[in-house]
Amino acid sequence: MKATHYFSGLVIAIFVGVHILNHLTILHSESMHISFMQAARKIYRNPIIESLLLLAVLVQIGTGLALAFQKWGKITTTYDWIHVLSGLYMALFLIIHVSAVMIGRYRLQVDTNLWYGAGVMNMWPHKLFFIPYYTLALISFFFHVACIHRLKAPGIFGQLAAERHAIIIMILGTIVTAAIIIRMSTLRLPDEFIKATTQSESTRRD
């Protein structure tokens, strides 16, 4: 089960890496972010690749929860806690986030692009939930990767170097997270997005 979890995690990590790179382009402009996403979608929205990604997500969540349950009574170090808790949060995030994207695409029939995610980070009171929600997701990803590197890398780099690498990954991940969240939570929302959101909320109230 550990091997299955590891390899499904590699598949997801490749996608998440591209996704994070996509979000970093927002530091340049909204148009670059959307252009990058449109180009990347041609690959990861291919029916075969998307099916493999969704399968990897299901496998990752299932095996991750099982491994966390096995590990819970054996947690002894700070790294163990970070490893397990970051994994549990990512499982929760994947369930919510993937479901939200699928609902947006197939039920609401909207483009789940930059504004679908970042929009709620710029609206009151939605931002009170979504800014911490996305921040913890990014932090959890980088910290989880750092813990895995610490476990897998000693055979190549040595234990001390692997622990130093893990700390570097955490620090860089925190910096990247801060840059993305600050930028995406300070965007100026397009008038058409505000209008559509207002109409949607008005329809739900009616």
pLDDT tens for the chain, 206 residues: list them: 889 999 999 999 999 999 999 999 999 999 999 999 999 999 999 999 999 999 999 999 999 999 999 999 899 999 999 999 999 999 999 999 999 999 989 998 888 999 888 888 998 899 999 999 999 999 999 999 999 999 998 887 788 899 999 999 999 999 999 999 999 999 988 877 666 666 555 555 55
Q: Is 206 a member of any domain?
A: no
Pairwise CA distance, residues 18 & 12, whole Å: 10
CA 92 to chain centre: 11
> Please, are residues 15 and 57 in contact by the beta-carbon 8 Å criterion?
no
Q: Is 22 a member of any domain?
A: yes
Q: Is 151 a member of any domain?
A: yes
Tokens of 169: 């990954």
Q: Is 15 a member of any domain?
A: yes
Question: pTM to 2 decimals?
Answer: 0.90
Q: Is 205 a member of any domain?
A: no
Q: Is 82 a member of any domain?
A: yes
Q: What was the pLDDT predicted at 109? A: 87
Q: What was the pLDDT predicted at 1? A: 85
Q: In which domain, by residue range, is 151 found?
A: 2-197
Give the count of beta carbons closer than 10 Å to the beta carbon of residue 34.
17
Is residue 163 within a helix (H) or strand (E), and if so which, with residue range?
helix 159-184
Q: Is 202 a member of any domain?
A: no
In the chain, how many domains are there?
1
Q: Is 70 a member of any domain?
A: yes
> Please, are residues 112 and 101 in contact by the beta-carbon 8 Å criterion?
yes
